[in-house]
Amino acid sequence: MAAAKDGQNGGAMEWRVTVPEGASVTVEHEDGGRAARAWAWLVSCMGALVSRVSGFTRRVWKIGADDPRRAVHSVKVGLALALVSVFYYTRPLYDGVGGAAMWAVMTVVVVFEYTVGGCVYKGFNRATATVSAGAVALGVHWIATKSGDKFEPVVRSGSVFLLAAAATFSRFIPTVKARFDYGVTIFILTYSLVAVSGYRVDALVAMAQQRVSTIGIGIFICLVVCLLVCPIWAGQELHRLTARNMDKLAGAVEACVEGYFAQSPDKRQAPPPSATKAEGYKCVLNSKASEDSQANLARWEPPHGRFAFRHPYGQYKNVGAAMRHCAYCVEALSGCILSAEAQTPERVKRHLADACTRVATRCAAVLREASSSITAMTAPRSLDFTVAEMNTAVQELQSEVRALPSKLVEEEESAQLMDAVQLFTVISLLIEVSTRIEGVVDAVDTLATLAAFKSVDDEMPAEADAKLQTVSDLDSIEPEGARTTKNHEQV
């Protein structure tokens, strides 16, 4: 019997036993194998943990890098909480507010919001609801104490039932839901706490006074930090969102049409449009909730920059609605292009490719011009010229379509018209998109008027003068006001 090291088994110790016939039997040392497997499992677990931690770190870093204001907001919340905690750490301040100082900390946690409008909205609602609920609770407390010991619980419970039921029902009213929903919730909470606790607490007035004062301190600290340290305005966020969505909608119109008429190497099927640009209309369709929320919060913000008092934030929702009305048609256009099974004849497709691409380019130019007007907050002086060019391109496309049957008959290919149904559908949707874009332009014009956008006082350059002369020539073909009353000829 002898011990030997087998190099082929990774250096594990083995025992060899020699039998009389000259054969040998190998017996593996199991303790070394188990240790190796345990070590490998531990290394794999550590590797997976490091991989997950690094992946999570990269995602967190990307979130902060995409919008550094998120990190700034986190710092602002920490600063507000650090300031309000001074009331606990400083003895004179703590003696002034008593044990109710924790209400100031709670107020900062629930009131501090990302935008100034959100912070003002919650602060105003919390302050108003707290004061009104405290005043009503003190009045009911006085009535209950005068009712005697027998009826005092009945008065308190009955008042809680009536006021809570009425306040809860008011949350279903659209106006109250949009502007005072948080305040109604705080009213129910504050009144219930004060009214119920007043049955066992003697110094109810002092308790209510302490809570109101500490809540006011918390609201004041929130507003000061939110307004003075890198303020984020809901009105500006809504303004940028509207312009950004308009640019994405313009890119979607161009990408859909260009992708449809671009030929693939096999000359038979068009490659799918760019997923990034062609699906830009989805951002417009999904932005309604964000627009409504930001418009409601922006109403609470004080005047700042170009956003004066009573700035028409509601008109931004109208612009967004007009863009969504157009985006629905772009979605139908994209679906028609991607889901079509019949192949349009290449001869017919090539004949109308230039006219359709020109219309899509003009439509995108109108949307980008309107977006630039909103971004710069200037009156859209040259927007009418761009719209006139778009309408001219639409008229040229309609003329090409009307001339198409006669050309095919001359070439004895009129049977191909039945195979070109998809192309005619695309053309019809494209013309409808141009019509709906005019609704977006009208909404932008209204916004520019209500918001008093600045007019461009600089003289027009030579290119703009030539453009104006071209549009003047087009006015002889298309009467004034045709931008909003153009007859839409169905293909």
Question: Domain end: 66, 101, 118, which one?
Answer: 66
- The total of other beta-carbon atoms located within 10 Å of residue 391's CB is 22
30 vs 407: CA distance, rounded Å: 88
- The total of other beta-carbon atoms located within 10 Å of residue 43's CB is 10
The verdict on 81 and 47 lying in the same domain is no
List phi, psi (to 5°) of 439.
-65, -35
pLDDT 10s digits, 222-264: 999 999 989 999 999 999 999 999 999 999 999 888 888 875 4
CB contact at 8 A, 27 and 17 = yes
Please compute Rg for the chain using Cα positions.
Answer: 36
The verdict on 197 and 304 lying in the same domain is no
Could you list the pLDDT tens digit for every one of the 491 residues in the chain?
444 444 444 444 555 555 555 555 554 555 566 778 888 888 888 888 888 888 888 888 888 788 888 889 999 999 999 988 887 766 666 666 666 677 888 889 999 999 999 999 999 999 999 889 888 888 888 888 887 777 878 888 888 899 999 999 999 998 888 889 999 999 998 888 877 776 555 566 777 777 888 888 889 999 999 999 899 999 999 999 999 999 999 999 998 888 888 754 444 444 454 556 778 889 999 999 999 999 999 999 999 888 888 899 999 999 999 999 999 999 998 888 876 555 666 777 788 888 899 999 999 999 999 999 999 898 877 888 899 999 999 999 888 888 776 665 555 455 555 566 778 888 899 999 999 999 999 999 999 999 888 876 543 444 444 443 443 443 443 433 343 334 333 33
- The total of other beta-carbon atoms located within 10 Å of residue 135's CB is 14
Beginning with the edge strand found earlier in the chain, give each strand of the sheet holding 13-18 in spatial order.
2-5, 13-18, 24-28
Question: Domain end: 177, 202, 228, which one?
Answer: 228
| Count of domains forming the chain | 3
Total-model pTM: 0.76
The verdict on 442 and 335 lying in the same domain is yes
The verdict on 137 and 243 lying in the same domain is no
The verdict on 149 and 174 lying in the same domain is yes
Q: Which domain holds residue 214?
A: 71-228
- Under DSSP, the state recorded for 13 is E
Position 458 in a domain: yes
The verdict on 295 and 423 lying in the same domain is yes
pLDDT 10s digits, 133-159: 888 888 888 888 887 777 878 888 888
Find the angle CA(467)-CA(468)-CA(472) to the nearest 5 degrees.
120
